[in-house]
Structure 1
Amino acid sequence: MNLNLEEVIEAINGEIIVKNNEGSFNKISTDTRKIEEESLFIALNGENFNGNDYVIEAIKKGASIVIVDELKFDIKDLNNKGLVIKVEDTKIALGALAKYYREKLGIKVVGITGSTGKTSTKDLVAAFLSGKYSVFKTKGNFNNEIGLPLMIFELDPSYDIAVLEMGTSNFNEIHRLANIARPDIAAITNVGVTHIEYLKSRENILKEKLSITDFFENNNPLIVNNENDMLQTLNQSSKFKLEKIGYNENCEVYSKNIELTEKSTSFDAVTQNGQSHRFKLDMVGEHNVLNALIGIQIAIDFGVTFEEMEIGLKNFEATSMRLEFIKKDNITIINDCYNASPDSMNAALEVLKTYPGKRKIAVLGDMGELGEHAKFSHKMVGEHAIGKADMILTIGEFKDDYKEGFGKDTKVFASKQELMNNVKEFIKDGDVILVKASRSAKFEEIVKYIEKL
């Protein structure tokens, strides 16, 4: 890894309290289960664990350096191994070290945030850019104050651009992530009600998302989805260069002639200067057109041609459990268990509606972190499902709100196990079954159960 001990000390303002080696290391880890020889272990202190308890274990497994914010070990137990650095707060040190490393590498960074669609957009942005550049992208959902630094530590000089996803659940989190990643270009996919339990209003959510631009320095581009009512209110700013995408011809890039099939989404992307190109995505759902347009505008900002974007699309890799289609005997399962919000629920239901099949069944669970909006939001999703699903199977705290919205063809169960025990009697040949809930509900267990029927 392209960092040395002196740089680590400078970045985190740490103090060496034990020095049994010269402090060389190859990787950075926060998990003793994944430590390799010559690793630097950062002992994070969380709500459910304290990494400071695992210093001895980390060194026994090969960590050459350990960063701590508590001394919870006896020095003699180190057996003359390891170098220990003390800091005030290891979580802050993790971010500070990632920031230092990002600045040292000097590669370009694209930051992606939004209430929904962040990961699909990240995947598309990375694909479009890969037609011209060597691109790194966030893996899975490593988009918070722990995950983002870990992603930055996976970068090396072979990459030209890093596409980094930035999530939030409370105030100032995006600000702190932007401080670490220092994006050169940013995008906001939409502003919905995800995490409104903590952020209290959509206006606050918009403000939180906009903090991704807090460290812009040179009128950097901010790309936004102009079909979102909150993002429509944005105007040009001295802080950023606003670039809008959508269906309106006034946008920097807009789409027309959208064609949806059970396997793909095609559309024409048109620029302000009249250039046009038809793209075909191996993704379903019209919402992906807007995600793709964000990627196209970012690629344009980096000087990528339509032809190079087309080449890059061949490298497209979608993150799992997002509208994953599983064919099983004579039924189709749409696995969309990665997460859920009102916007993503409605988008998935639109896909269910257009996907060919005899009947459409939606297996829906709770959407988290909606606070006082929760009951209303679940009811509204139930209402939105009318005409898109023939039947809803549901569990969770808000199962009755789904039923209030959707009506008599809602089947309510007391638990996930009860739903699985009874699901077979509701499934017939030719059915298309959407399975979706917030990540904490682990609805992928239902998907696996149906696959085995």
Structure 2
Amino acid sequence: MEYMSFEDIVKAINGKVILKGKYGGFGKVSTDTRKIEEKDIFIALKGDNFNGNEYAKLASEKGASICIVDEIKYKDSDIQNYTTIIKVENTRQALLDLAEAYRNTLDIRIIGVTGSVGKTSTKDLVAAALSSKFKVFKTEANFNNEIGLPKMIFKLDNSFDIAVLEMGMNNLGEIHNMAKAARPDIAIITNIGTAHIGRLKTRENILKAKLEITDFFSNKNILVINNDNDLLSEVKSNNFKIKKVSLDNEGDITASDIKLMENSIDFLIKENNSNTGESISVEVPGKHSVLNALFAVICGRLLNMSYSDIREGLRNLKTTNMRLEVTKGTKFTIINDCYNANLDSMKAAIDVLSGYSGNRKIAVLGTMGELGESSVKLHREVGRYAAKNEINLLIAIGEYSKDYRSGFESVQNENGKVMEFQDYNKVVEFLTHEYIKKQDVVLVKASRSMKFESIVLKLNENIDK
């Protein structure tokens, strides 16, 4: 917050100073009193099970120079003489408004990344590709919502050249609010699938929500889209530029001569339909990763990077945990993809499992969340896809395990079977004590809420036994 004055802060959040402390400067922005340090700004957020306004006294005691509240839950005598209290209509909105004002003080390019699947992997690849020429910040972990994104903006300063910020959503309007705060110069939409279709009802509404990332675009801004996606390929605009990447159709950057290895991809680049002779190699698995890598390549080219610089940057790739994370043991191999799950990412993970060398292929799959009325149909589709890809054993866990079974058994797969479990410990016990043989490969994947990493941890304990 070094580029803003006290008056700037009050104005940005449309706040009213109701208790004036002895102003002595301010440091970081925090929404968690457990992490408050001297001179921090505390924003009191409310959730389903907590009310941050109740912690203004504690924030002051820990040294906060400013507390931003939307309810008075303290006595004046509770507040230290160095703390100023600012009251706003809504602290969640104040967080976004303050982030927007702070972002406007920065001389930094921002690349926003959204889409139904592949956001985090694409963010990691774009940040890596640009890292050989620029100082790059990228969204940490899953700080990609209306609370997390402002926290990422507050971590920026003018020492960075570029920030690659991920934007997720559960409903219409959320990406609009994040785009208003972040004001991306370049936006990427990876695809339009079925994630969150339970709330938004149609893929067309999902497209509408994702396109909110362009709500503050002008003719200086660029939207990069996946031209292989049926809905995105139809997107047009007279207000901003559109660039396209593709594996199967025309695009500004496309891939050819694709080679898929167990843990890496290799392909040649066409730029504006012309062969460049340039090859790209990345240490990530799966055909879906080629498209994600193309987003990284086109961002590099839009920022005037050479292919040599892009290749050098991609060698710095640091991927996010639990995203097709492979652990090889002396007995069997685990593919940990527990970060999240929807139809497209399930199919991509099954493709990686199917193409992995080894003995038998085992998929431990749990619930895909927020699919609403489409839940039964889409879980059955994943079951069918697993059988078609000759998965030897599908272990189905959760509310829709019977639908996984129904889909799997609807396809002839002589070497495959499906089993249902509800107890994670029994899954691990069955696999490690009865089923797994040397050189088997196990994929573990479900929506984040199922916490399948606990299964991975227990499997890891037996990976060499």
Give the structure 1 partner of residue 336 of structure 2: 335
Contact residue 135 and residue 162 of structure 1 kept, 8 A: yes
Give the structure 2 partner of residue 396 of structure 1: 398
Which TM-score applies when normalising by structure 2? Answer: 0.95
Contact residue 213 and residue 239 of structure 1 kept, 8 A: no
SS in structure 2 opposite 1:119?
helix
SS in structure 2 opposite 1:106?
coil
Structure 1, unpaired ranges of 5+ = none
Q: Which amino acid aligns with 2:110?
A: V
Q: Which amino acid aligns with 1:238?
A: N
Give the structure 2 partner of residue 439 of structure 1: 448
Correspondence 1:84 to 2:85: yes
Fraction of identical pairs, as percent: 50
Contact residue 23 and residue 65 of structure 1 kept, 8 A: no
- Cα distance in 2 for partners of 1:207, 1:366 equals 26
CA-atom RMSD, angstroms? 1.3
What CA deviation, in whole Å up to 9, does each residue of 1:55-81 have, x standing for no partner? Answer: 111112221211100000111122434
- Cα distance in 2 for partners of 1:77, 1:33 equals 18
Give the structure 2 partner of residue 406 of structure 1: 408
| Structural mapping, 1:172-321, within 5 Å | 172-235=173-236, 237-248=237-248, 250-272=250-272, 273-321=274-322
- Cα distance in 2 for partners of 1:238, 1:373 equals 35
- Cα distance in 2 for partners of 1:241, 1:299 equals 16
Contact residue 227 and residue 250 of structure 2 kept, 8 A: no
Deviation at 1:291, TM superposition (A): 0.5
Correspondence 1:419 to 2:427: yes
SS in structure 2 opposite 1:375?
helix
Select between 265-274 and 28-37 the one with higher mean Cα deviation: 265-274
Give the structure 2 partner of residue 379 of structure 1: 380
Correspondence 1:159 to 2:157: no
What CA deviation, in whole Å up to 9, does each residue of 1:74-93 have, x standing for no partner? Answer: 11122434111111100000
Report the number of matched residues.
452
> Structure 1 residues 249 and 398 mapped into 2: Cα distance closer, same or farther (>3 Å)?
closer
- Cα distance in 2 for partners of 1:443, 1:126 equals 28
Deviation at 1:303, TM superposition (A): 1.0
Deviation at 1:20, TM superposition (A): 2.2
Contact residue 194 and residue 370 of structure 1 kept, 8 A: yes
Contact residue 127 and residue 312 of structure 1 kept, 8 A: yes
Correspondence 1:36 to 2:37: yes
What CA deviation, in whole Å up to 9, does each residue of 1:174-197 have, x standing for no partner? Answer: 111111111111010000000001
Deviation at 1:420, TM superposition (A): 3.0
- Cα distance in 1 for partners of 2:115, 2:253 equals 19
- Cα distance in 2 for partners of 1:142, 1:185 equals 19
Select between 357-366 and 73-82 the one with higher mean Cα deviation: 73-82
Deviation at 1:23, TM superposition (A): 4.8
- Cα distance in 2 for partners of 1:274, 1:446 equals 46
Structure 2, unpaired ranges of 5+ = 410-415
> Structure 1 residues 7 and 23 mapped into 2: Cα distance closer, same or farther (>3 Å)?
farther
Give the structure 1 partner of residue 413 of structure 2: none
What CA deviation, in whole Å up to 9, does each residue of 1:72-122 have, x standing for no partner? Answer: 011112243411111110000000000001111131111100000000000
Give the structure 1 partner of residue 439 of structure 2: 430
> Structure 1 residues 388 and 96 mapped into 2: Cα distance closer, same or farther (>3 Å)?
farther
Deviation at 1:27, TM superposition (A): 0.6
> Structure 1 residues 82 and 366 mapped into 2: Cα distance closer, same or farther (>3 Å)?
same
SS in structure 2 opposite 1:63?
coil
> Structure 1 residues 229 and 153 mapped into 2: Cα distance closer, same or farther (>3 Å)?
same
